Structure 1
């Protein structure tokens, strides 16, 4: 029969118990991993995984109750809990670990926003991941009443400096949903238009005003999250022929490439207004860049037991960097190194033992790096008959990375590692 958790279980205590369990496991198996200890602890309390255990703890803990009240819009409960525990005003939660004010604003809960402001929330507080304020999130959700209230409380209407480099009005316009009513309200209240928000809104007059103030903005780049697109790329994506013509008149480069290596014409499809294609070709774009349905990239999805553990391995041992993760705790994530990206999925999508070929500049230099960092190398650099010198690297879940560069000599006698 499983052990019983206390009414208000402490996640910190459970994490400590998992580390102690790991120490015990490693006394018999030095290769034991933290996720194995976490799974043992979870099963002792009747939960199928650490993620399920954590979700339960979060839901019944004091922090979990406060976060849940903000998310579901229970202003009465939120006020009661914060009256009893005022120090909890600064906790964060939700999928992206955001402040309570952001959670309430994102979901359009005006009454909860009022509670949080009354308890002293900084209306211009920024979250850690997106460097955004509650106003950014309210605008992105199109919650006009919340936008109005936050501005009335002194929120910065422009909100420059967020990770998407879009400002509040950008959050209302450039993402999946265009919140035109919120954008119009922000502009009426004096928000500074941006070239990208103006493109979405189809406002040539605003774009002209932006360029009159700073002509160099015709070459302004979006953030890396939006592939560093230029205004011309973005206007093509938004299928705005008049705006494309305006940008070209203002000196936009039809051959400029985003960080995927694509030009504006590469973004045109069979559904794109033909006036856009004709304008780009007339401005000097190369016809061979036009494709009815271009493939952009392929990213392998690797099934893993623990996304956080896998990300740590790829970052610490293999020199990748964490792009993002999804969930709390994360069950999906992305790592990258230069032009190579890998998705990591917990509990689905694929099986252990997937093989991926990765082409590098110098596999011998990489071998030296990986030995220093303690990566699991199943086969050192070896020359093969197909003209590559390959190293075989294994990750925590048995996936194999065939890292190769040009062969340095005739083929060695060793077969490819299985």
Structure 2
């Protein structure tokens, strides 16, 4: 009898807890709908009060996107002017710290972005993901937005803890945005912890125009992502045109990465990339000797020896010397037999 009473009391407690949980859930849903209603109707003060008092959100931020965000993202300049005139704060942010300026730049709407900046929008506002308005402008490829943000004091080069605008521009192939940022003092050999140098990113994403421009402006042809060079990236992506460009600008063909592989090791066998690398290696090895036979045979042999014997870089010179002397002897014997 006593055990039955304890069981019944426990059951009642569980039911009470479940009922309380459902009641709180119903209140939260109702408040969320009420907040959304106030936002749609434009009553920002009441929406902000609910967000601050009920949800514990700091003043100046909303749980949802505001009409200001929507107008900025869609490029509705007249609506944006009306909302600002009604008293909307241009620096209102979402729970992810996204501002209306972020949205305007992501959509490439330069007129909306300018209006927000003229009304006090924070040009260097940062989201919880480390995104700035300048990053979004580079993402959209809007050169006009990039120039305007810089005029209003945007930082062209950010710290390693923030997403790099110029790396995003290169990644998406927006060469003009990249040039504007470089002209404003961004380090051409800046290495991002995630992506590496600008040249490395351009090679990884096969942005040939960006590769050409970076090389013309003096980018370090051998600086990539840690031990991986831009040439490694181009070989890995089977981009023969970029491999030739890098080689012409003095890329180190013998440089090995963390896996101890050179660019030739990463090239697909019998591909244009492999042929280009062999030709350029052959030029360096046999430029002193006017051979009448194939100039690829000895470099190919040498690379096969390196590949299978895992030869250290310090022995490259000795290998070159051995093959050079051997080829001289063969050439001498060939001419002797011809006489």
**Number of aligned positions between the proteins:** 236
Alignment-derived partner of residue 137 in structure 1:
136
Q: What CA deviation, in whole Å up to 9, does each residue of 1:198-224 have, x standing for no partner?
A: 543123763883439xx7x44438xxx
Structure 1 residues 108 and 181 mapped into 2: Cα distance closer, same or farther (>3 Å)?
Answer: same
State whether structure 2 residue 81 is matched by structure 1 residue 79. Answer: yes
Say if 1:218 and 1:247, in contact at 8 Å, map to a contact too.
Answer: no
Change in CA separation of 1:132 and 1:268 when aligned onto 2, cut-off 3 Å: farther
**Does 1:206 pair with 2:215?**
yes
Give yes or no for contact 1:42–1:53 (8 Å, CA) kept in 2: no
Q: What's the offset of the Cα at 1:185? A: 3.4
| CA distance 1:134–1:252, change in 2 (3 Å) | farther
Change (3 A) 1:248 1:33: farther
CA contact (8 A) 2:169 2:178 kept: yes
Alignment deviations for residues 5-52 of structure 1 (CA, whole Å, 9 cap, x no partner): xxxxxxxxxxxxxxxxxxxxx942868998x8898679989xxxx9x9
Q: Which of the pair is proportionally richer in helix? A: 2
- What is the CA-CA distance between 1:68 and the residue it aligns to? 1.0
1:256-312 CA-to-partner distances (Å, cap 9, x unmatched) read 49xxxx99789766997433895699499969xxxxxxxxxxxxxxxxxxxxxxxxx
User: Any conservation in 1 of the 2:91–2:122 contact (CA below 8 Å)?
Assistant: no
CA drift of 1:146 comes to 1.0
SS at match of 2:170: coil
1:90 corresponds to 2:91? yes
In structure 1, runs of 5+ residues without a counterpart are 1-25, 222-228, 288-418
Pairing partner for 1:195 from 191, 196, 199: 199
Aligned match of 2:176: 181
Does the residue aligned with 2:220 lie in a helix, a strand or coil?
helix
* Structure 2 residue matching 1:90: 3-state secondary structure: coil
Question: How big is the alpha-carbon RMSD for the aligned residues of Structure 1 and Structure 2?
Answer: 4.9
**Correspondence 1:169-318 to 2 at 5 A:** 169-174=166-171, 177-193=172-188, 194-196=198-200, 199=203, 200=207, 201-203=210-212, 206=215, 209-211=218-220, 217-220=223-226, 231-235=230-234, 236-237=236-237, 239=239, 240-242=242-244, 245=247, 249=252, 252-256=255-259, 273-275=272-274, 282=303
Distance of aligned partners of 1:55 and 1:244 in 2 relative to their CA distance in 1, 3 Å threshold: farther
In structure 1, what is the Cα distance between the partners aligned to 2:77 and 2:117?
12
In 1: Cα distance, 2:81 partner to 2:272 partner: 52
TM-score normalised by L of structure 2: 0.52
Residue of structure 1 in register with 2:165 after alignment = 168
